Amino acid sequence: MKIITKNEEIRVVLISVDDVSDVLFPFFISYKISIDDSIQIYGFFLKDKMVAVSAVIPDDELNNGSFYTYGSPIIYVFEVREDKRGLGYGRKCAELLLEKVLENDTIILSCTPFVAGFWEKLGFELKFVDQSLYMHRMMFEKKAKKEKKDTKK
């Protein structure tokens, strides 16, 4: 396991899909079959306990045969442990992922409608909704805000 970044409270570690507990992260594990070697998995640790996990499809020009290709990294799955929800850890982990790990101008997100509000609070905008028979997925996009130039002299 390789530590990617950390703040005073949470460490972000690049992990294997086999490091993820099916008991603590059942939603994530339901996607295990579609996670291949091109997808990066990040564990978010509070002390020695994993509080969240995310699967990210990287922005990789060499990854032409990957699951999706949008020219930006895609947050494919993000799950916070049920016993840690509502305590602010999800927001802290998502902010670390966006600001310190991905660091891209544009980030794509695939999520279900029941977590859309969470991602909108982090600056994502809805791009389209897939309401197929088997799943209801939403695609969001977050673009970096351009800094305003000071025109006063």
| pTM for the structure as a whole | 0.76
Residue 150 lies in a domain: no
In order along its 153 residues, the chain shows pLDDT tens digits of 555 656 668 999 999 999 999 899 988 888 787 788 888 999 999 988 999 999 988 876 555 544 445 577 888 889 999 999 999 999 999 999 888 787 777 888 888 778 888 988 988 888 777 665 445 555 667 776 655 455 454
CATH code for the domain in which residue 73 is found = 3.40.630.30
What's the pLDDT score for residue 70?
58
Domain of 8 in residue numbering reads as 2-143
Residue 20 lies in a domain: yes
Q: What is the spatial distance between Cα 13 and Cα 128, in angstroms, rounded to a whole number?
A: 31
Residue 32 lies in a domain: yes
Residue 153 lies in a domain: no
Strand ordering across the sheet containing 136-143: 2-6, 10-15, 40-46, 49-57, 74-80, 106-111, 136-143, 125-131
CA 125, 116, 68, 15 dihedral sign is: positive
Q: What is the number of structural domains in the chain?
A: 1
Residue 85 lies in a domain: yes
